[in-house]
Structure formats: structure tokens, C-alpha cells
Amino acid sequence: MEPLYQQTHKQVHEVQSHMGRLETADKQSLDLVENEIQASIDQIFSRLERLEILSSKEPPNKRQNAKLRVDQLKYDVQHLQTALRNFQHQRYAREQQERQREELLSRTFTTNDSDTTIPMDESLQFNSSLQKVHHGMDDLIGGGHSILEGLRAQRLTLKGTQKKILDIANMLGLSNTVMRLIEKRAFQDKYFMIGGMLLTCVVMFLVVQYLT
């Protein structure tokens, strides 16, 4: 387990240092940098799944510490994933605003054709409304990401708690009935988490419809 943990730990620090490249990269290479960071994050998540299995096979006196180390890596990489998604969303929003501004400035305004006349104050008001919608979307999606990451962290915590309870139950020799009740409760918590995620998506959709 230790070699794989050290490799994963090193890769997390490499991704943290690469995040700074997002602010300095030019437009031509920005997509490439984002894809490289996302690929590294996906690889880290894959390694963490393997580490989670290996940590559960550690000797009892080392198992708890091994799980804590793996959980810390999960926490770090989840924050990196959230930071990357927020950066991408803000970039897309800026690019869309630039395109809309260019389209607005490129329009031909006339005083003779009533069908093509657009009062300047109305155009400015339209642009201001678009900016407000974008800011609202930024806040909404950022809050949605935070909620989903929180739910994911709770799922990991519940999963770790379930394993700890089952380990204790095995050591204490509790009955199979009690262990089945514990597993059933964890199964129900999973569906509560999924329901909460779906509810969050519905609320985000309704707010977007309202704002637009």
C-alpha cells in the first residue's frame, strides 16, 4: 500500500502546482492545460479506490491510520476538482459575455428603418440584464458544486463509518441480524443522498428558468 500511497500523494501535489498554470496559460493552450489537470484528477480518484481497498486489508493496529491518510487525500483531490470546475465555468461565462458584447457592438443602428432601430438605452439595459443573469448563474452553480461536494463527502464519511461499525461488530461477535440492520441503514442513507442531489438539480433548473 505504501508505494501506491506515496505516488498518489505526489500526484496530488503536482496537480496543486499545475493549477497555477490556468491563470497564466494563453487561450490557445488553456484547453490542453485543463484536460491534463482533469486527466490527473481522474487518475488520482482511480488510485484512491485502490488505496481504500488496500487500507481495509491492513492489520488492525494500522488500519485506522491508513484509512485516515486515504481520506485526507480524497479531501484534497475533491477540492482540486471543485476549483477546476469553478475556473472552467467562470471562463465560459467570460467568453460568452465577450461574444455577446461583440455581437452587440457589431450591430448596425439606423434611424430610418423602424424594424432595425434599437435604442441605445434599451441595448445597455439588455446587456446589464445579461450580466446579472451570468452573475446569478455563477453564484448558483458555485453553490450547487459546494452542495454536491458536501453530499459526496458525507457519503464517504458514512461509508467509512459503516466499515468501522462492521469491523467493531466482527470483533465483538454481534449477531447477523444487527449487522444486517446496520447495512440496511447505510443503504437507506445512500438513497437519501441521491434524493438530495436530485432535489438540488431541480432547484437549480427552476432558478435558471426564473432568471432567464
Q: For residue 25, report the phi and psi dihedrals to the nearest 5 degrees.
A: -70, 145
Biggest CA–CA distance in the chain, Å, is: 90
Lowest mean pLDDT segment, chosen from 2-11, 96-105, 129-138: 129-138
Neighbours of 166 (CB within 10 A): 15
The pTM assigned to this predicted structure is 0.49
**Which among 35, 42, 31 has a CA at the least distance from the CA of 77?**
42
- In one-letter notation, the amino acid at residue 192 is F
Distance of alpha carbon 168 from alpha carbon 165, whole angstroms: 5
Please provide the average confidence, as pLDDT, over all residues in the chain: 76
> Per-residue pLDDT tens for 112-168?
544 444 455 555 666 666 666 666 666 666 666 666 676 666 667 766 666 666 666
